Amino acid sequence: MDANLGTTNVMLGIMAAVSVLEALVLIGIGVGGFLIYRRVTQLVSDLEVRQVAPLREKVEAILVDVKSVTSRVNEQSERVDQAITGTMGRVDETAERVKHSVRHKVNQATGVVRGVRAIVASVLSGHASGPGPGRPASTADAGSRL
């Protein structure tokens, strides 16, 4: 039995040594992972400082410019809208004035034309067919017709 226990002890010793080696390898992997993590973190931090920060500043400056341009465009569009609204109101008012003025002048001209037409019709009807309605025939007119 001693032979079996000796072999078992050797095997147990080998297993213990392998376990210690495995533990050392795992500790080495952990330390290596931590070092890699620290280097990557430092690299990302440096990259952010060198590349991202200036880009972020430029983007923020562009956004400030965009905001100012947008506010100016809004102000100008409001001014244009007010100007167009005011102009349209004045155009409507002027059109109404012109319409009334033209209508008044056309009515006057129509009255004059109707008066002249009535005079011409009266003169023509008096000479062509004799006395008009309501006018008695004179003796001179009666003799000339015979």
Q: Kindly report, residue by residue over 100-146, the tens digit of the pLDDT.
A: 888 988 899 899 999 999 999 889 887 655 555 555 555 445 444 44
Residue 6 scores a pLDDT above 50: yes
> What is the model's pLDDT at position 36?
97
Assigned token pair, 138: 């004179």
* 32-52: average pLDDT: 93
Residue 130 gets which letter from DSSP? S
The average confidence (pLDDT) of the chain is 85
Assigned token pair, 109: 């001209």
- CA end-to-end distance (rounded Å), the chain: 184
* 13-41: average pLDDT: 97
> What is the model's pLDDT at position 51?
86
Residue 12 gets which letter from DSSP? H
